[in-house]
């Protein structure tokens, strides 16, 4: 991973903690650190060192204090348009970056860390030309710009935890260091979280305890009427916590229950207490028994078929948290405050659920996993795998990419880690370029069965060079694992390549810590191994694979 850092202050003091963090996580990390205040030259000159470096990510940090100095240099007549002019300049720089580095993502901390000047005091909201009015407008316009610009990401510069001193003004005067080491350490952590998401590392699921976690009290001892939830006393804290969890569920985070309880008793508040915000259908998996919570989380992980490192476990009991940490070290287990009033502010401050994309498909995620649970139950009652696959009544739409699906296709490349042959990440802009490129065969796969719609779960990109072709990308959701979707997709790919008079297909498996699932994918698809990770197929000798998918 190659990262370039530039800004309008002495950014070498940010480079040190940022490099330390990223080097510990990315063995091949490289940093290009631009000279002080050379943004214009680095981003506009095609031959600048930054452009020659060809970074994957640009961290562009404009100090608000430095921006205020620029505002003061602007004549009074022009100050009403200061925000628009500033945003236009950033937009021009982004256009320059996109024209030369189309694959590059830009991270831009906003100006929420406001250095107010109080020239107009609280009256500044009525004075368009005031510094406070203009800087507030800049933050709004930055958000609008990030919506328009696919690879432009805004992060909040305001710390979500207490930092004693953010700016040491003696260091500003003596060294153009606008921020203290504590603040820069915090900022490095935030940037690192977003970069991890770019690399496909993020939290997908919250596993929740019930008693004294989702409500106050113990349902088995206190009874339905005595648990604390609603608008009285400490119940308000649990209600607010549930509202936040429901928002995460709407965003696509999977909710699951792991409780030491009788299942009927554990479910009773969701069914019978009208003040509960969360309902049973908000949870993809509900496990309530007297087994170890580590064992139950293991069961939940198998049902959801996600990595342990994408799970967060929330429990008020320190002993339960400790057991899960010891037995499932990859699961994130936050150390909840003792006072339930602080559950929500604490978890918000942890920013555990960072994302880099959002599509309408995320709204359906809980429903999709509930449907998957029913499929698993069906599989337990059928001993013959072929009979099970036939009983699912699976249908698929296998076709080239279309513009309506670009966001979801890009999201799959960014988020998929296990069923991912080469782990190449693409932005929406990059995916869009494949549509009009005759040298690429693109394939998207949507699947449904009698239980529901999986949605768009497969992406294949094939590069064509005359009579030869190479698999650039092959990704599928683990929810369709072992259901012969990959067989139906391969049959389609070979048919299309034959129509294009392609004679041979090359494939490559690039191993990662997470994609061992596809270690044998290419050989299972009928390709011959050339060496450790490279495969070959003579399309004339291809034998159509057995599939239980009905193509629409």
Token pair of 234, please? 């400490």
Helix (H) or strand (E) holding 386: helix 385-391
The pLDDT tens digits of the residues spanning 394-421 come to: 999 999 999 989 989 998 998 888 899 9
Q: Other C-beta atoms within 10 Å of 517: how many?
A: 15
The pLDDT tens digits of the residues spanning 4-26 come to: 999 999 999 999 999 999 988 88
The confidence score (pLDDT) of residue 365 equals 72
The confidence score (pLDDT) of residue 114 equals 80
pLDDT in tens, the chain (552 residues): 899 999 999 999 999 999 999 988 887 899 999 998 899 999 999 999 999 999 999 999 999 999 999 999 999 889 999 999 999 999 999 999 999 998 899 999 999 988 889 999 999 999 999 999 999 999 999 999 999 998 999 999 999 888 989 999 999 999 999 999 999 999 999 999 999 888 888 899 999 999 999 999 999 888 888 899 998 889 999 999 999 999 999 988 999 999 999 999 999 999 999 999 999 999 999 999 999 999 999 999 988 888 899 999 999 999 999 999 999 999 999 999 999 999 999 999 999 998 877 766 666 777 777 777 777 777 777 778 888 889 989 999 999 999 989 989 998 998 888 899 999 999 888 899 999 899 999 999 999 998 888 889 999 999 999 999 999 999 998 878 888 999 999 999 999 999 999 999 999 999 988 888 899 999 999 999 998 889 999 999 999 999 999 987
Please state, in angstroms and rounded to a whole number, the distance separating the CA atoms of residues 248 and 64: 31
User: What is the DSSP secondary structure assignment for residue 433, as one 8-state letter?
Assistant: H
- The pTM score is 0.74
Domains of the chain by start residue, with CATH: 2-198 (3.40.50.1110), 205-350 (3.40.50.1000), 393-551 (3.40.630.30)
Phi, psi of 399 (to 5 degrees): -160, 170
The confidence score (pLDDT) of residue 363 equals 67
The confidence score (pLDDT) of residue 362 equals 65
- Quick check: 172 and 178 in contact, CB under 8 A? yes
According to DSSP, the β-strands at 452-465 and 205-208 are unpaired
Cα angle for residues 389, 392, 396 (degrees, 5° grid): 90
The confidence score (pLDDT) of residue 480 equals 84
* DSSP-assigned states of every residue in 511-541: --SS-GGGTTHHHHTTPEESSSSEEEEEGGG
The confidence score (pLDDT) of residue 235 equals 94
Give the burial class of 507: count Cβ atoms within 10 A of its Cβ; 0-12 exposed, 13-18 middle, 19 or more buried.
buried
């Amino acid at each position: 991973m190659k990262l370039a850092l530039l800004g309008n202050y002495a950014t070498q003091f940010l480079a040190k903690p940022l490099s330390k963090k990223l080097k510990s996580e990315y063995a091949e990390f490289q940093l290009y650190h631009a000279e002080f205040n050379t943004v214009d030259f680095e981003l506009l000159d095609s031959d600048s060192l930054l452009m020659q470096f060809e970074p994957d990510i640009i961290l562009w940090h404009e100090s608000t204090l430095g921006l205020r100095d620029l505002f003061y240099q602007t004549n009074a007549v022009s100050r009403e348009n200061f925000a628009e002019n500033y945003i236009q300049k950033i937009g021009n720089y982004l256009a320059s970056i996109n024209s030369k580095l189309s694959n590059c993502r830009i991270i831009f901390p906003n100006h929420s860390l406001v250095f107010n000047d109080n020239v107009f005091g609280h009256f500044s909201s009525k004075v368009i030309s005031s510094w406070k009015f203009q800087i507030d407008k800049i933050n709004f316009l930055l958000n609008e710009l990030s919506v328009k610009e696919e690879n432009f990401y805004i992060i909040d510069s305001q710390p979500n935890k207490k930092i004693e001193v953010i700016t040491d003004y003696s260091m500003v005067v003596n060294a153009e260091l606008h921020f203290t080491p504590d603040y820069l350490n915090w900022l490095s952590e935030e940037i690192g979280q977003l970069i991890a998401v770019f690399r496909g590392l993020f939290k997908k699921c919250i596993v929740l305890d019930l008693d004294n976690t989702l409500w106050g009290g113990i349902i088995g001892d206190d009874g339905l009427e005595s648990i604390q939830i609603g608008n009285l006393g400490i119940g308000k804290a649990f209600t607010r916590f549930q509202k936040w969890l429901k928002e995460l569920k709407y965003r696509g985070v999977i909710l699951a229950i792991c409780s030491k309880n009788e299942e009927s008793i554990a479910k009773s508040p969701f069914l019978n207490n009208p003040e509960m915000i969360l309902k049973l259908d908000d949870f993809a998996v509900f496990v309530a028994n007297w087994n170890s919570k580590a064992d139950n989380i293991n069961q939940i992980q198998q049902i959801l078929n996600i990595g342990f490192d994408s799970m967060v476990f929330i429990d008020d009991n320190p002993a339960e948290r400790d057991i899960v940490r010891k037995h499932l070290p990859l699961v994130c287990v936050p150390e909840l405050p003792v006072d339930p009033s602080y559950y929500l502010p604490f978890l918000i401050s942890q920013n555990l659920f960072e994302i880099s994309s959002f599509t309408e498909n995320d709204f359906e995620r809980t429903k999709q996993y509930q449907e998957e649970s029913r499929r698993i139950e069906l599989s337990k009652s059928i001993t013959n795998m072929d009979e099970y696959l036939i009983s699912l009544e699976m249908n698929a739409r296998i076709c080239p990419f279309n513009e309506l699906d670009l966001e979801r296709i890009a999201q799959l490349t960014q988020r998929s880690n296990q069923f991912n042959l080469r782990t190449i990440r693409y932005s929406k802009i990059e995916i869009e370029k494949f549509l009009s490129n005759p040298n690429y065969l693109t394939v998207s796969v949507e699947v449904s069965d009698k239980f529901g719609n999986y949605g768009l779960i497969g992406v294949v990109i094939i590069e064509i060079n005359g009579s030869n072709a190479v698999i650039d990308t092959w990704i599928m959701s683990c929810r369709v694992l072992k259901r012969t979707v990959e067989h139906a997709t391969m049959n389609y790919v070979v048919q299309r390549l034959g129509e294009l008079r392609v004679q041979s297909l090359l494939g490559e498996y690039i191993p990662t810590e997470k994609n061992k699932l596809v270690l044998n994918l290419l050989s299972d698809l009928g390709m011959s191994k050339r060496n450790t990770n490279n495969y070959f197929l003579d399309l004339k000798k291809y034998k159509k694979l057995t599939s239980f998918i009905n193509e629409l």
